[in-house]
């Protein structure tokens, strides 16, 4: 699936307007390198993407390699036109499977910077990685997982001004991260611009 062009409102369309009941809809499941190529259009965006790749590497280092990430926020909008500013960060919900033999508590103790327990730690995480990060374990009871998925989908399916929009899903596995880092380096070298 490819990432569709921004609408006239500067957002990703939430659905395929030509076939509104098709599976061609948000979240758009795309490879990591495609995501970087699509949104790595300016030095500010490249800095955010670098943070995202570093955040993913930190998660992988803790054994979080199975699952997916929903990616959204002003980063996925044409915010340079909508609000005359570059994006400051990217919003990410990581739906992950626990590594074998580890608990949520183990991860929080081993890497408290990745599992912030208060506003100050969350702010530090955002400052380090340019990522507004949220985590959802896939081992939680199905009812709670359904509630969490519905919550994030409903939050991210529209802007605060009620304009409906789409978002992107990327596999959490580190399989393509090395290629994505090369893609990002190429974009930086080429001097990406809007």
Look at residue 16 and tell me if it is in a domain.
no
**Size of the chain, expressed as the number of residues it contains:** 194
- Please count the other Cβ atoms lying within 10 Å of the Cβ belonging to residue 101: 7
In a domain, 80, yes or no: yes
As for how many domains the chain has, the answer is 1
pTM exceeds 0.85, yes or no: yes
Q: For residue 38, give its domain range.
A: 28-190
Report if residue 176 sits inside a domain: yes
In a domain, 3, yes or no: no
Q: Sheet holding 168-171: strands in order across?
A: 28-29, 168-171, 67-72, 90-96, 131-137
* 139-140-143-145 Cα dihedral, nearest 10 degrees: -80
Query: Is residue 5, in this structure, part of any structural domain at all?
Result: no
75 lies in some domain: yes
Q: In tens digits, what is the pLDDT along the chain, a chain of 194 residues? A: 689 999 999 999 988 877 778 787 889 999 999 999 999 999 999 999 999 999 999 999 999 999 999 999 999 999 999 999 999 999 999 999 999 999 989 999 999 999 998 899 999 999 999 999 999 999 999 999 999 999 999 988 988 888 899 999 999 999 999 999 998 988 887 775 44
The answer to whether residues 56 and 114 touch, using CB atoms and an 8 Å cutoff, is no
User: Considering the domain boundaries, does residue 45 fall inside one?
Assistant: yes
Residue 2 placed within a domain: no
- How far apart, in whole angstroms, are the C-alpha atoms of residue 115 and residue 111? 7
């Amino acid at each position: 699936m490819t990432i569709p062009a921004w609408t006239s409102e500067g957002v990703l369309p939430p659905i395929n307007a030509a076939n509104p009941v098709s599976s061609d809809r948000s979240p758009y499941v795309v490879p990591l390198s495609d995501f970087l190529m699509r949104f790595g259009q300016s030095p500010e965006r490249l800095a955010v993407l670098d943070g995202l790749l570093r955040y993913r590497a930190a998660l992988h280092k803790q054994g979080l390699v199975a699952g997916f990430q929903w990616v959204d926020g002003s980063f996925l909008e044409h915010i340079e036109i909508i609000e005359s500013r570059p994006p400051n960060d990217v919003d990410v919900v990581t739906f992950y499977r626990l590594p074998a033999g580890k608990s949520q508590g183990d991860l929080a103790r081993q890497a408290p910077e990745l599992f912030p327990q208060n506003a100050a730690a969350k702010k530090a995480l955002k400052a380090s990685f340019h990522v507004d990060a949220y985590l959802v374990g896939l081992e939680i009871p199905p009812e709670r997982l359904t509630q969490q998925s519905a919550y994030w989908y409903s939050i991210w399916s529209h802007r605060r001004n009620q304009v409906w929009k789409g978002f992107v899903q990327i596999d959490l596995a580190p399989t393509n991260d090395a290629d994505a880092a090369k893609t990002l380096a190429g974009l930086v070298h080429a001097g990406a611009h809007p």
